Amino acid sequence: MKEETVQQILSRYAHRRSALLPLLHLCQEEAGYVTPEAIGQLGERLGLSPTQVAEVATFYDMFRLKPGGRREIWVCHNLSCSLLGAEEVVRRLEERLGVKAGETTPDGAFTLRRFECLAACEIAPVIQVGPDYYGPVRPEDIDALLERLRNG
Amino acid sequence: MSEKVLTKRFEISGYRGTIEEYLATGGYQAIPRALKEYSPESLIDLVRRSGLRGRGGAGFPTGVKWGFVPKDPTLTKYLVCNADESEPGTFKDRDLITRDPHQLLEGIILASYAIGCRTAYIYLRGEFVAGAVIMEQAIQDAAAHGFLGNNILGSGFNLKVHLHRGAGAYICGEETALLESLEGKRGLPRLKPPFPASAGLYRLPTVVNNVETLCNLPHIVLRGAEWFSSIGSPKSTGNRIFSVSGHVRRPGNYELPMDVPMRELIFQHAGGMRGDRRLKAVIPGGSSVPVLTEQHLDTRMDFESLAKAGSMAGSGGVMVMDDSTCMVRAGEIVARFYHHESCGQCTQCREGTAWLHKTLRRIEAGRGRKVDMDLLMDICDNMKGKTICPLSDAAAMPIESYLKYFGDEFEQHIVERACPFGSGGGS
């Protein structure tokens, strides 16, 4: 974490604890996950115990407390996506990647995750990878999508 | 054909929402107008007279909410834009943020001026990765053009806006959980009262307004309260963006007067049912509201009409299901969601959502018992109105409604020991 960035984030808030979520995002972007060291460092920085930092980090779905794949594939499995075939999409992805949802491929390329409504129901069933949305996705689109993600 | 207001720029070919494009299409004109012609009090009055109600779910009158903020100039006040859009079936705010971010910023500036706020936050859903980049850029551009910062347009009014990303927790859409999250804590809702208007962020007076609510403000300032209140019904004024999804031909966001009939929304704007199948069920306001059926198609979509029909306008997320849909499976998915998202601090919700999910999964898998339907009703009864926040009610109300309208289907699962639709659920 660059000191300048940390200072810039801290300057946005009247209470330094408010910087916890932005700093957790930053740690995760840098290390790929929230490391035990980061939990300790953030605690020292913000005047919190490691437990206070960890209870926040574990509360939110997006923070990873363990290393995962280089990219996360989020498949929405909420109602609108399920109505239009999200389960078939999950099954095809599991089959092609050789892992179950929640797991990481042995080569470390992808972590496959089921996600709750990604707020993109107009293109259900939807997959989100980083800033990109893909949909409507059919099981037969999965091979091409994975190819694109591997090369992209 | 009704006039589009909030989404009118979406129709301009090639419009990407940059500040240059926004300015070239009449953007940021409400700021000089408000700063010159309105005092904070008269701006609050304007919004009150427009009848604008919150578009996040509860439908509370925006001007009234602002009026609760203490006028004491020595008190720091905060405005927080709730951009944590996570109610299943709702995707309007994502569009407003990514396609016309300056319209939202203009609304935030107006609201901040009205309540006397000098630092505003946009609490953006963590999953909106692209939206965060767009919004951050928009804030920088607005500041570079003098719409943010010190002495805005020479008025003496100062405002900073900061983007604050969430990290994946539905409960943070509830305003007090959002404030806890913004304070760097777990998103556990607070007991109300005190309401945020008196004790919000850092226990200081705070207004939390939804994205779409704020986007309405520039238009109300430029065109007046009477224009706004002439659209829709007397108590549900203005346009609303309905997010329509599920088994329709053209899923998408449709901006229409608040009192558009459900039939027109689904069959005209969203193109009707895919494959001309029969409509079976409609969730009219996000997954937490009671389901409606074919018999309700002539209901209008405003707050009062949907309440009279036994449901709620909620967040405007309209999920449409055809006759191939298993309502037990639908219930299982909805229950799974609330089970996953319960923050866990109230027993009724923490345990109730788990029981609902478990029981529905069992019925869907063909292992339901005769007592399970009564059990579901009993669980719902124990969940409603007994907790700190409405998530528990939001989990119970839909399930009760599925049992009310589709009880035969639940019974069939139990008697036949299988899902008649061949689904079986399970995830």
Residue B293: per-residue pLDDT: 98
| Chain A environment of B202 (Cβ under 8 Å) | 14-15
Radius of gyration of chain A (CA): 18
Q: In the predicted model, what is the mean pLDDT of residues A128-151?
A: 97
* Residues 74 through 103 of chain A touching chain B, CB cutoff 8 Å: 74, 77-80, 82-84, 87, 90
* Fold exhibited by the domain B327-417: de novo design (two linked rop proteins) (1.20.1440)
Q: What single letter denotes the amino acid at residue B161? A: V
Domain B3-229, CATH among 3.40.640.10, 3.40.50.11540, 3.40.50.150, 3.40.50.300: 3.40.50.11540
| Chain A environment of B135 (Cβ under 8 Å) | none
Domain B239-322, CATH among 2.30.30.30, 3.10.20.600, 3.40.190.10, 3.30.379.10: 3.10.20.600
Average pLDDT, chain B: 97
Domain boundaries, chain A: 3-59, 71-151
Residue B271 sits at the chain A interface (C-beta within 8 Å) = no
In chain B, which segments carry CATH 1.20.1440.230? 327-417
The CATH class of the A3-59 domain is mainly alpha
Nearest chain B Cα distance for residue A131, angstroms: 5
Does B89 contact A132 at a Cβ distance shorter than 8 Å? no
Bond into B32 cis (ω within 30):
no
* Residues 320 through 349 of chain B touching chain A, CB cutoff 8 Å: 321, 325, 329-330, 333-334, 337, 340-341, 343
Average pLDDT, chain A: 97
Q: How far is CA A26 from the centre of its chain?
A: 13
Would you give the end-to-end CA distance of chain B in angstroms? 43
Tens-place pLDDT, residues B275-294: 999 999 999 999 999 999 99
* pLDDT-above-90 percentage for chain B: 98
| Predicted confidence (pLDDT) at residue A92 exceeds the cutoff of 60 | yes
Residue B133 sits at the chain A interface (C-beta within 8 Å) = yes
CATH of segment(s) A71-151: 3.40.30.10
CA within 13 Å, CB half, B387: 27
Tens-place pLDDT, residues B351-380: 999 999 999 999 999 999 999 999 999 999
| Predicted confidence (pLDDT) at residue B261 exceeds the cutoff of 80 | yes
pLDDT grade, residue B423 (50/70/90)?
confident
Does B287 contact A116 at a Cβ distance shorter than 8 Å? no
Q: How far is the C-alpha of B129 from the C-alpha of B165, rounded, in Å?
A: 9
Q: In the predicted model, what is the mean pLDDT of residues B255-261?
A: 98
| Predicted confidence (pLDDT) at residue B1 exceeds the cutoff of 80 | no
Q: In the predicted model, what is the mean pLDDT of residues A80-96?
A: 97
Nearest chain A Cα distance for residue B66, angstroms: 22
Residue B426: per-residue pLDDT: 57
Tokens 């069992």 correspond to B362
For B94, the closest of A82, A115, A120 (CB atoms) is: A120
Residue B64 sits at the chain A interface (C-beta within 8 Å) = no
Residue B427: per-residue pLDDT: 59
| Predicted confidence (pLDDT) at residue B325 exceeds the cutoff of 80 | yes
Q: How far is the C-alpha of B387 from the C-alpha of A55, rounded, in Å?
A: 22
- SS3 of B230, please? coil
| Predicted confidence (pLDDT) at residue B424 exceeds the cutoff of 80 | no
Residue B2: per-residue pLDDT: 87
| Predicted confidence (pLDDT) at residue B200 exceeds the cutoff of 90 | yes
CA distances from B68 to B77, B111, B115, B127, B195 (A): 12, 13, 9, 32, 9
Strand partners, B237: B232
Residue B422: per-residue pLDDT: 83
| Predicted confidence (pLDDT) at residue B211 exceeds the cutoff of 80 | yes
Residue A1: per-residue pLDDT: 82
Q: In the predicted model, what is the mean pLDDT of residues B396-410?
A: 98
Exposure string over B331-348, b if 16+ CB within 10 A, otherwise e: bbbbbbbbbebbbeebeb
Nearest chain B Cα distance for residue A117, angstroms: 5
In chain B, which segments carry CATH 3.10.20.600? 239-322
Q: In the predicted model, what is the mean pLDDT of residues A45-74?
A: 97
